[in-house]
Amino acid sequence: MRQSQIWLAVVRGLPRLREPDRFAPWLFTIARRSVTDRLRGEYAREQETLAADDVATEDPAEAMVDRAALMNVLSELPVLEREILVLFYLEDLPVEECAYICRIPAGTVKSRLSRARRLLREHLKEKGYRP
């Protein structure tokens, strides 16, 4: 779900917002759910592609790590680190926007990104993937 679709969902959902002073958390919940749905969709499509085509692709990123395995490992990360990775890498948002969305300082975004990358590397290593 792209930003325009998220805003459309927000506008449609406004009549059901019972506590207007809770708008920001309500909005972030909608955005978080849309990102989660997007990840689930990508994972499902990737699983279908892998099942239909057993031939390895020539994508450099997939040569290093199978995308389905990456999505699986990503889902094992703590929520805060996973959110930062999704916002920064999948949604392609700059650090400042990630900070605004998560309501944390930019420095905290950077430290969470660092921790998330380290955890991701550790999880991949445990699963037997080597860079």
Mean pLDDT, the chain, as a whole number?
78
- pLDDT of 48-64, one tens digit each? 666 555 444 455 545 44
- pLDDT (average), residues 70-74: 75
From 22-31, 59-68, 98-107, 122-131, the region with the lowest mean pLDDT: 59-68
- pLDDT (average), residues 63-78: 70
DSSP string, 13-50: HGGG-S-GGGHHHHHHHHHHHHHHHHHHHHHHHHHHHH
